[in-house]
Amino acid sequence: MSVTPTTTLDSQLTTTWGPNNSYPDVPMVMSGYTSRLWPHDSQPQFWSKYQVWEWLQQVMDMHQIDASNIPFQNFDMDGHQLCSLSYQDFIRAAGSVGPILFHSLTELKWSGQYHVEIGQLELKPEHFSCPFPDVSYPPGEIYDPSIHPLPVASPTPSSPDIKRSYSRPHQVKKHNPRGTHLWEFIRDILLNPERNPGLIKWEDRTEGVFRFLKSEAVAQLWGKKKNNSSMTYEKLSRAMRYYYKREILERVDGRRLVYKFGRNARGWRESEK
DNA sequence: TTGCGATTTCCTGATT
DNA sequence: GAATCAGGAAATCGCA
């Protein structure tokens, strides 16, 4: 067993994945979480499209929601356009996750305008969780409220009522009780090339074949996410091999550090994004 | 409390 | 010889 110093990892990672990246597994006060992820000088109104996607990813991580449940193409917009969306727009675009996104964004807008006062609210992430039953739809499918009607609520962002009316998203977490699965973590790195500084790369995008470039760095990143500093590539690869049986991954014979998504892996195809 | 799923840990042996 | 792969076995952890 070996514990690799974080400096090794940090040296291989960009600032996005580096020590400034606050991992969602650690509970924290909402404003703290917000300020750590998104500094006040980076107001959502001025985000680029990429920053919007980064924010989406962070919120998904924060709430341990499978990122494939979000039709990212519905958020192909910059920060200015994002900020002009209404609460209903978020529900239309992201279904049951919409309210979570709405509140997160609203809080960010607030923190940009009133950074001092917001700190007194003590709103924890779970208070921003979706109050609605899970309404699942295939990844990539645009949410249609006429098919999956949701109760309309009009919570006031950052209001004390949020504490009462919002509970943990049991239904959302149901499919993923321990947070992001390893294969989803790998997939998300692959799907976010900007956040993937040469850790893993596609070998054959259409076939779902990918290769680890920095296997130990990926393992450390996974360990960091799971709050396990002793994670190694050897252990990570063992978990990867268990996916063969479940057909989440397929063997790629004769090639080291190369894996292929199997029939049960979702959300990696370009058409699914 | 219990059972379960998803890892995590450790191990041995094979392969590159 | 080191790194990686393969897979068995047991332990751990969070959740229902």
CATH number at residue A45: 1.10.150.50
Looking at residue A158, its pLDDT comes to: 29
One domain for residues A253 and A218 = yes
**Domain end: A108, A140, A173, which one?**
A173
A162 and A237 assigned to the same domain: no
Does one domain contain both A21 and A140?
Answer: yes
Judge contact between A97 and A130, C-beta under 8 A: yes
Residue A40, pLDDT score: 36
Q: Is residue A106 part of a domain?
A: yes
Q: Which residues of A103-130 are buried (b: 16+ CB within 10 A; e: fewer)?
A: bbbbbbbbbbeeeeebeebebbbebbbb
In a domain, A91, yes or no: yes
Nucleotides of B under 7 A from a protein CB: 5-11, 16
Say how far apart CA A76 and CA A87 lie, in whole Å. 17
Q: How far apart are CA A268 and CA A213, in angstroms?
A: 18
The pLDDT assigned to A102 comes to 80
- A72 with A200, same domain? no
In a domain, A53, yes or no: yes
> Three-state SS across chain A?
CCCCCHHHHHHHCCCCCCCCCCCCCCCCCHHHHHHHHCCCCCCHHHCCHHHHHHHHHHHHHHCCCCHHHCCHHHHCCCHHHHHCCCHHHHHHHHHHHHHHHHHHHHHHHHHHHCCCHHHHCCCCHHHHCCCCCCCCCCCCCCCCCCCCCCCCCCCCCCCCHHHHHCCCCHHHHCCCCCCCCHHHHHHHHHHCHHHCCCCEEEEECCCCEEEECCHHHHHHHHHHHCCCCCCCHHHHHHHHHHHHHHCCEECCCCCCCEEEECCCCCCCCHHHC
* A252 closest-nt by C1' vs CA: C5
pLDDT at position A249 is: 92
∠ CA A55-A228-A123 to the nearest 5 degrees?
40
Question: What's the Å distance between residue A265 CA and nucleotide C10 C1'?
Answer: 27
* CB-count exposure of residue A28 (10 Å: 0-12, 13-18, 19+): middle
The per-residue pLDDT string of chain A (273 residues; one tens digit each, 9 = 90 and over) reads 333 344 444 444 433 343 333 333 333 333 333 333 343 345 677 776 666 766 776 666 666 565 656 666 677 677 777 888 877 788 777 777 777 788 777 777 765 543 322 233 233 333 333 322 233 333 333 232 222 333 333 333 323 232 323 333 333 333 344 567 899 999 988 887 666 678 898 988 899 999 998 899 899 889 888 888 889 999 999 999 999 988 899 988 888 899 999 988 888 887 765
Supply the pLDDT for residue A7: 40
* Measured CA A223 to C1' B15 distance, in angstroms: 27
Residue A254: CB less than 7 A from any atom in strand B: yes
- Determine contact, residues A262/A240, Cβ cutoff 8 Å: no
Among A116, A141, A173, the domain boundary falls at: A173
Q: Give the structural domain span for A251.
A: 182-272
Residues A149 and A41 in one domain: yes
Indicate if A20 and A108 belong to the same structural domain.
yes
**Claim to verify: residue A33 and residue A85 sit in the same structural domain:** yes
CATH number for the domain that contains residue A266: 1.10.10.10
Domain boundary among A173, A206, A238: A173
Domain count, chain A: 2
Query: How high is the pLDDT of residue A239?
Result: 94
Q: Are residues A67 and A116 in the same domain?
A: yes
In a domain, A162, yes or no: yes
CA A157 from centroid of its chain's CA atoms: 21
Q: Are residues A162 and A49 in the same domain?
A: yes
Q: How far apart are CA A226 and CA A96, in angstroms?
A: 26
Q: Å from A19 (CA) to C3 (C1')?
A: 28
Please tell me the distance from the alpha carbon of residue A137 to that of residue A139, in angstroms, as a whole number: 6
Protein residue closest via CA to C1' of C13: A178
pLDDT score for A88 = 79
Asked whether residue A84 is assigned to any structural domain, the reply reads: yes
- Are A53 and A163 contained in the same domain? yes
User: Is A1 among the domain residues?
Assistant: no
Q: Are residues A161 and A141 in the same domain?
A: yes
